[in-house]
Structure 1
């Protein structure tokens, strides 16, 4: 099996190691600095679950699409930031010769609707999404550390096609030590993650705290409760559904299990801010605001959180 991983950050390296451990032929598409690091040092997956380490002779690295052979890949895993989706989907379209007749694209990202740029160019039956609620960090360019885990990686289709063609990827991830399954209800699980991420990620970044700290202060709890209520209103108005009937049902699990399981995790948005790079806020609370406008729903707290993160981002642009 031939697999291309686009986005060689923490998730990409971890999944690459997982695939190699299951005897897949893995290729990475990486930026020059990361490409050089993994060619020199190999890749490692550390932290919780099985530790994996592979030298560079176990995988291939590309830094431009012209280098990639034609009709080679069975699966392409998108593990980049959501901010790159428009560029990646367009590049894959312009270099579609590298895809085989039945190549499947699986998107491992935060947010909702991340398949939309890809189904502009490719048949919707070829595009899948994954819900990842495991915490990954990258202490060095060639190392992925799995820091926390609360639920399996789930893979499915927002276009309601069967999951048979992607079960092999889920099985390989699972056998590598990271729990994974396929599901026909990926939309519900992605909305569950949106509830989790949109509530914790930007607020934790603004306050510079881990997720657990947000539940130890009545003021931050009040903000989170309002975010959750607004997101539930958007889910309902947009015609979607999730795993809980009401926002109060979700809050019970959120405070009793989801946050405690990931207590020490720091938001990916905070990691981006510390690196002075663009965050994924547009596909998180920004997506909530977009759907709210389409369905005449008021989401003032989401708008404030969004504006605060965009303000921080604009300061990066001014300092460049």
Structure 2
């Protein structure tokens, strides 16, 4: 496995010392410096493992490298070869970023990583969470160090379930990304849309500040990021946006702007929105709008227009003949509706169409 650089000598075992005022002590493998009776623990580079080197993961890796973090990646096949030979590049509307070859660690399986990470970032497709959790279970005891956290950078509802039995709820965090990404090449990601900063926090009541260092690093590396102490509301706002646009854009094979050109597609979008609010009311969930009418007004006139040119991840998956995340989006709404006694014909219909399209690959 190729390892990242030591961030300016952070991995060296010894340093030059002059006089009694600069004494080096080594305890339990950690270096402590005593300078004029004041003890300071040497600050090591943030260690991050990133699993999932698609469009989102590549951009995250570039940001963390730019911020000085030590980054290890889990990647396979063509993606791993491209990163090993050409590094990583982020293009688009955010600052351009390059990771030269040899500056990130690479391994093919999560169970083979070194361990001892401050953060483990999951940016794979939701459809692989069960298998991924099984792999991480083999490294449960040494994957994270100290107060390390696992952060899910994924769309949808209920994505954390496979990981709940492996990690304490206080270690599980989510990040919701109102940013559009497109994978140009196996090691190149393009940022196409920036609707708002990325929101990061906990759905389990843990303080979001536990991920403050990660949020600051991403922000420093060119991806706007903020801590969100109301992540439950943010989750539902993200679900509203994605469920309204992703599947329908894939079915009609159009960008988001194309969806508002037809009264019929607008009617379907409104139906999806109203069903989601009905499910929220029945389940006791909240978001930032009191009802569907208030959300529709803001959605069609303020939220949607800046993203007209974006093509949904579901459409990109369909075009590449890959499994989609429909079951964690509209499919999850339909499932919740069924369990709560709420009818969801629009969400159910688009879910069935996407599933049928997948079976025709």
Same-fold call, TM cutoff 0.5: yes
Change (3 A) 1:65 1:194: closer
**CA distance, structure 2, for counterparts of residue 21 and residue 238 of structure 1:** 42
Q: Determine the structure 2 residue equivalent to 1:168.
A: 213
Q: Any residues of structure 2 matched to 1:107-186 within 5 Å, and which?
A: 107-186=152-231
Alignment map for 1:297-316 (pairs within 5 Å):
297-316=342-361
Per-residue CA distance 1:61-100 (angstroms, 9 max, x = gap): 1112454224x21100001111111111121112223332
Task: Give the equivalent residue in structure 1 for 2:130.
Answer: 86
1:58 alignment partner, SS class:
coil
Q: How many residue pairs were aligned?
A: 315
Per-residue CA distance 1:13-38 (angstroms, 9 max, x = gap): 10001001110000110122211110
1:14 is aligned to 2:59: yes
SS of structure 1 residue aligned to 2:360: helix
Q: In the alignment, is the contact (CA less than 8 A) between 2:55 and 2:182 conserved in 1?
A: yes
Q: How does 1:126-275 map to 2 (within 5 A)?
A: 126-275=171-320
TM-score by length of 1: 0.96
The secondary structure found in structure 1 opposite 2:286 is: coil
1:43 aligns with 2:80: no
- What CA distance in whole angstroms lies between the structure 1 residues aligned with 2:175 and 2:160? 10
Secondary structure, aligned partner of 1:56: coil
Structure 1: stretches of 5+ with no match in the other structure: none
Corresponding residue number in structure 1 for 2:119: 75
Report the Cα offset of residue 113 of structure 1.
1.8
For residues 240-267 of structure 1, give each alpha carbon's deviation from its aligned partner in whole angstroms, at most 9, with x where no partner exists: 1001001011111111122111010001
After superposition, the CA RMSD in angstroms is: 1.1
Partners of 1:303 and 1:115 lie apart in 2 by: 23
Larger fraction in helix: 1
Q: Is the 8 A contact 2:169 2:204 kept in 1?
A: yes
Using the alignment, how far apart are the partners of 1:114 and 1:182 within structure 2?
19
* Pick aligned residue for 1:59 from 87, 104, 116: 104
Match of 1:95 in 2: 139
Match of 2:150 in 1: 105
1:163-194: CA deviation from partner (whole Å, max 9, x where unpaired): 12101111111122222101111111111010
Rounded to whole Å, the distance in 1 between the matches of 2:208 and 2:289 is 23
Higher Rg: 2
